[in-house]
Amino acid sequence: MRGRLIDPYKRMASKDHIISCDKEENSARLLNGKPSWKRSLQHVLVASISSFLCGYHLVVVNETLESISIDLGFRGNTMAEGLVVSTCLGGAFVGSLFSGWVADGVGRRRAFQICALPMIIGASMSATTKSLWGMLLGRLFVGTGIGLGPPVAALYVAEVSPTAVRGAFGSLTQIAQCFGVMGALFIGFPSKEFEGWWRICFWVSAIPAAVLAFLMEFCAESPHWLYKRGRSNEAEAEYEKLLGGIHVKPAMTELLRTGGDDDETDKVKISELLFGRHFKVMFIGSTLFALQQLSGINAVFYFSSTVFKTFGVPSGVANTCVGICNLLGSVLAMTLMDKLGRKALLLWSFLSMGVAMGIQVIAASSLASGSGAMYLSVGGMLMFVFTYAVGTGPVPCLLLSEIFPSRIRAKALAICLAVHWVFNFFVGLLFLRLLEQLGAQLLYTIFGAFCMVAVIFVKNYVVETKGRSLQEIEVALLSQEAE
């Protein structure tokens, strides 16, 4: 049984060597304490620019969609408006699907630089287009970039962060995405007053993409990736940058336990992930992302201006409140992630989102009218966004980068995020049409029901990873698999 726990995922070493490494590791930990988070923070912050861009491009059409539709001649066509939103998501699906192979093939740093290129090209195309088709093509290019970014960022943060702050650092990417959302909303406010302002909104996004590509040249490469490529000396050098010299040996011991050969990583097949021994963790990851999207969160982000307008709430005020709630929730998540744990935050978050959707249903029913309906609708939506940002938003990417074994981590995360983008695409494409045909009351009831399903799913299937090294999580999951 013990052989089965070790063999699939780690490079073999002699018993004496493991014992020796264990003694060195324990000694270093006792004498020197935990690695400082300050060394790795700067690298995580640079990686978070990709999350900022993701948030920006997902929401840049929120305030500008009306102006774009007028200038490009498709005003009043809800399907065309949905395509402007969701074409970006279709591109994200393609980018996400290949992100694992890109990240494993060229490394995490180069993958960030590659994801910045289509963002620059696509933003330029959208900013200069004279037709709907040009806009859709530009959004498609941008989408491939934002599809590459989040899975690579999740991998990078998990692999360069000290264990004690991995949850907090994982939340930084969500905070960066919040700033991207808020930036897109704020810069889009003048679009209804100044003709052609929406083009500036797209031009601006090329700047952080170029900054990401430039600064990544000076960031550390993932030691996990270097080790898997057989470049142990370089992995040690990167750990010295990230953790400090006294923590290099314990960190390398962790890699000895979990890191597989490069050949093993390259031989990971889709069939092995979808139908083989990894099916259970793949099922957990894919279902978690599907439920995240079916909760209706991105319908709020994409179309909050349209929904609030029906209650007479100025879109600028409403979207500002949405952005602030998203940011405050993400900051709270950063402080709680390594204290309460991933599973607890997910449970509380999905449950609260379900309650918030219940408030939305009441607001859309005959039980509320006039100002009462407005307050309930706005309050419920803001509660929904806040509670999403505390758990359902930041946890899934971080959690999956922790529970996937080192050998399959990049490719497995890529496939799960591809599922995320598929559901995101259809929510963005169909929300306005469903709102017209089903009405707000029934649609919000469906979203709330999915939140409750998510609570049951998390309680039964999600494992806690707080305070555990990637190696400890991997061995624990292998033990469950072997039973």
86 or 30, higher pLDDT = 86
* Per-residue pLDDT at 8 exceeds 70: no
The highest-confidence range among 166-175, 334-343, 452-461, by mean pLDDT, is 452-461
Contact 242, 221 (CB under 8 A): no
Q: In this structure, which amino acid lies at residue 306? A: T
Give the start-to-end residue ranges of the domains of the chain: 36-482
* Per-residue pLDDT at 31 exceeds 60: no
Least confident of 218-227, 275-284, 334-343, 454-463: 275-284
* Per-residue pLDDT at 61 exceeds 80: yes
Q: What is the structure's pLDDT at 427?
A: 79
Contact 295, 388 (CB under 8 A): yes
Mean of pLDDT values over 224-251: 84
* Per-residue pLDDT at 12 exceeds 90: no
Q: Hey, which CATH number is domain 36-482, 3.30.230.70, 1.20.1250.20, 3.40.50.300, 1.10.10.10?
A: 1.20.1250.20
Helix axes 206-215 and 38-72, enclosed angle (nearest 10): 150
The C-alpha atoms of residue 398 and residue 387 are separated, in whole angstroms, by: 17
Contact 183, 56 (CB under 8 A): yes
The C-alpha atoms of residue 368 and residue 461 are separated, in whole angstroms, by: 38
* Per-residue pLDDT at 49 exceeds 50: yes
Calculate what percentage of the chain has a pLDDT beyond 70: 82
Q: In this structure, which amino acid lies at residue 384? A: F
The C-alpha atoms of residue 208 and residue 214 are separated, in whole angstroms, by: 10
Q: What is the structure's pLDDT at 449?
A: 94
Mean of pLDDT values over 220-242: 86
Least confident of 8-22, 361-375, 418-432: 8-22
Q: What is the structure's pLDDT at 311?
A: 63
Q: In this structure, which amino acid lies at residue 21? A: C
Q: For 366-398, how does the pLDDT look when each residue is reduced to its tens digit (9 = 90+)?
A: 666 666 777 787 788 889 999 999 999 888 888
The highest-confidence range among 206-210, 328-332, 356-360, 468-472, by mean pLDDT, is 206-210
* Per-residue pLDDT at 35 exceeds 80: no
What are the start-end ranges of the H helices in 161-231? 166-188, 197-204, 206-215, 223-228
Phi-psi label, residue 143: left if phi above 0, alpha if psi -120 to 50, beta otherwise: alpha
The C-alpha atoms of residue 349 and residue 391 are separated, in whole angstroms, by: 5
Q: What is the structure's pLDDT at 111?
A: 94
The C-alpha atoms of residue 218 and residue 361 are separated, in whole angstroms, by: 50
Burial (Cβ within 10 Å: 0-12, 13-18, ≥19) of residue 390: buried
The C-alpha atoms of residue 162 and residue 242 are separated, in whole angstroms, by: 9
Can you read off the two tokens belonging to residue 285?
């990851």
- Strand ranges in 126-166 using DSSP code E only, listed in sequence order: none
Q: What is the structure's pLDDT at 301?
A: 67
Task: Give the confidence band of 162 by pLDDT, cuts at 50, 70, 90.
Answer: confident
